[in-house]
Amino acid sequence: MRILITSDNHLGYKESDPVLLDDSYETFEEILKVAQREKVDLILQGGDLFHDNRPSRNCLNRAIGLLRSYCVGSERSRLRSNRTLNSHDQNITISIPVVAIHGNHDDPSGINMVSPLDILQSSGLVNYIGKYSLMERIDVFPLLLEKEYRVAIYGLGHIKDRRLYRMFCEGKVVFHKPEDYDSWYNILVLHQNRVPREKEHLSLDFIDDFFDLVIYGHEHESRVTKEERLILQPGSTVRTSLCEGERHDKYVYILRIEEKCILEHVKLRSVRPLVLGVLRIEGKCNAEEIVAGKIKEMIEEGKKKETLFCKETTTVNVDTKKFKCERDTSNKTLPSSFYM
């Protein structure tokens, strides 16, 4: 099974800017092209697909157009699931299902608490998970997927960090596991602060250790760490601020669950490069000439970054035999207790 992982695409960012207006859309299209080229079974999106929870008509139109162009095809996805996915809809042929949670930018609001992701789900283009209306207790049920291997995805859309911190402390966030949970590759995708900020972040200490992969949306710098489990911070795909965390290269990730779990990170070519520098000028000198020279040097550095493209792999030491699906011709459904 192949899963493309992305987050913080911020569609619609600076769309009224005459220079930056197309950046978020062009990079999102590149991501969808990578998904097609790599023949992925699923796109998993970690929140902030949109930059605003009330995207403009132009933004919604472009998002829908891109998803229809690259996720609708002639061959239907063969993923089996415990829930009805858009790929099961007989009125539209979904070749690459998209599973997404909301972030802090595209969270539910207004009458009936609607997110832009609700609109995409109603249009049959996205499978929206991780939305919870009751804040007294959060019961997280997995989306169970089967193909050659078995994957369980637990979604938790953005919740105010302090509130979520308190709920974890009080034991009010419950992950409901299938009885044979250790025979599934368990993924948690959420959209919260990862960097410690007193009670304004979600510590790994709160997260159950049965998860094989934890995906943190929200933080914009791409990072991968292997501790007791694999921790993935996909980062953003468009630069939304001029800061140190945004200067690094942008990636999408492909998780291959095969005989070994392999995580590939694909560098995005369409992202506008950002070069930051520090210039100290002391004493009497031609400051204007020095600054101009430094700017020229940084522009040349930025031009070199534009042409970068590579794919690197990280092998994850996980025994995937236990996730493997035996061929079953009985057309049985997955456990009814996990229908939502």
Asked if 303 and 160 sit in the same domain, the reply is no
Tokens 């709920």 -> residue: 167
CB within 8 A of 133, min separation 6: which ones? 113
pLDDT band per the 50, 70, 90 thresholds, residue 333: very low
**Residue ranges making up the domain that contains 286:** 278-307
pLDDT the model gives residue 116: 97
pLDDT band per the 50, 70, 90 thresholds, residue 317: low
Asked if 165 and 296 sit in the same domain, the reply is no
pLDDT the model gives residue 330: 47
Asked if 229 and 291 sit in the same domain, the reply is no
Asked if 300 and 313 sit in the same domain, the reply is no
Asked if 144 and 284 sit in the same domain, the reply is no
Most confidently predicted of 64-68, 88-92, 266-270: 64-68
CA angle at 158 for the pair 92 and 241, rounded to the nearest 5°:
100
Asked if 284 and 210 sit in the same domain, the reply is no
Asked if 117 and 86 sit in the same domain, the reply is yes
The pair of structure tokens assigned to 13 is 């960012």
Question: Is the pLDDT assigned to residue 334 strictly greater than 90?
Answer: no
Asked if 18 and 126 sit in the same domain, the reply is yes
Active site residues: 105
Task: Please tell me the distance from the alpha carbon of residue 170 to that of residue 115, in angstroms, as a whole number.
Answer: 28
Write the Ramachandran bin of 112: left for phi over 0, alpha for psi from -120 to 50, otherwise beta: left
Could you say which DSSP state residue 208 is in? -
User: What stretch of H or E contains 231?
Assistant: strand 230-233
CATH number at 58 reads 3.60.21.10
Asked if 299 and 328 sit in the same domain, the reply is no
Asked if 264 and 292 sit in the same domain, the reply is no
Task: Please tell me the distance from the alpha carbon of residue 334 to that of residue 308, in angstroms, as a whole number.
Answer: 43
Query: Of 7, 225, 202, whose CA–CA distance to 100 is shortest?
Result: 7
The pair of structure tokens assigned to 196 is 């410690």
Asked if 159 and 282 sit in the same domain, the reply is no
pLDDT the model gives residue 335: 43
Give the phi and the psi of residue 49 in degrees, each rounded to 5: -60, -40
CB within 8 A of 141, min separation 6: which ones? 154, 176, 338, 340
Asked if 78 and 137 sit in the same domain, the reply is yes
Our count of domains for the chain comes to: 2
Question: Is the pLDDT assigned to residue 309 strictly greater than 50?
Answer: no
Report yes or no: 51 and 220 within 8 Å, Cβ to Cβ: no
Could you say which DSSP state residue 20 is in? T
Question: Is the pLDDT assigned to residue 136 strictly greater than 80?
Answer: yes
pLDDT in tens, 246-301: 888 999 999 999 888 899 999 999 998 888 888 887 777 788 888 888 888 888 88
The DSSP result for 97-129, as a single string, is -EEE---SSS--BTTTTB-HHHHHHHTTS-EE-
Q: pTM here?
A: 0.88
Question: Is the pLDDT assigned to residue 337 strictly greater than 70?
Answer: no
pLDDT the model gives residue 322: 60
Question: Is the pLDDT assigned to residue 307 strictly greater than 70?
Answer: no
Q: What value does the mean pLDDT take over residues 168-183? A: 93
